Amino acid sequence: MFNHIKSDRSKNQNKIRDQELDDMVLRCSSEPNTALVITDASIKNNIATSISHIHSANCPLIKTGHHASFVTSMEAELFAIRCGINQACSINNVSKIVIVTDSIHAAKKILDCGSHPYQIHSAAILSELCTFFSSNESNSIEFWECPSKLR
């Protein structure tokens, strides 16, 4: 479910990872039932910006952006993932969701059922995914890390 990269990879390994991501995007672009969700979040001057882009069948469908004050980077990342999943689940005929994020550690919090300060986001995401998976047992989701330096 999680395809990720170790932070200590060499330039050659980053080139390989870059190619893997390119191949995945090309593959997803040719699959009409796949929603590709690219998320990013950043904080500057105590203002968080969360952005998610959703593409399906090589067409941009939805771009959402949100701003919030005095939130952590983890909250901003989880919120971007949450919005992306929510939007992807609302698209008709989507059976596969691929999340691309530069914050795989935030994505892993979604599946952490233990007590943590981000439970509200995790619960909302898991609720949406429960509905998504209940609608068809072959539905799937993948998480890919794209380090910011790869662009």
Distance CA 128, CA 122 (A): 10
Q: What local confidence, expressed as pLDDT, does residue 45 receive?
A: 86
Q: What local confidence, expressed as pLDDT, does residue 52 receive?
A: 86
What amino acid occupies position 31? E
Distance CA 141, CA 129 (A): 9
Output the pTM of the full model.
Answer: 0.81
Spell out the domains of the chain, with CATH numbers in brackets. 2-150 (3.30.420.10)
Residue 29, helix vs strand vs coil: helix
Q: What local confidence, expressed as pLDDT, does residue 151 receive?
A: 57
pLDDT block averages, 10 residues each, the chain of length 151: 50 81 88 91 86 82 82 86 90 92 84 77 89 94 81 57
Distance CA 17, CA 117 (A): 32
Q: What local confidence, expressed as pLDDT, does residue 4 receive?
A: 47
In the chain, what's the furthest Cα-to-Cα distance? 44
User: 144: which strand partners?
Assistant: 3, 100
> Residue holding tokens 């469908």?
61
> Residue holding tokens 């939007």?
87
- Residue 56 main-chain phi, psi, to 5 deg: -145, 135
Q: What local confidence, expressed as pLDDT, does residue 112 receive?
A: 78
Q: What local confidence, expressed as pLDDT, does residue 69 receive?
A: 86
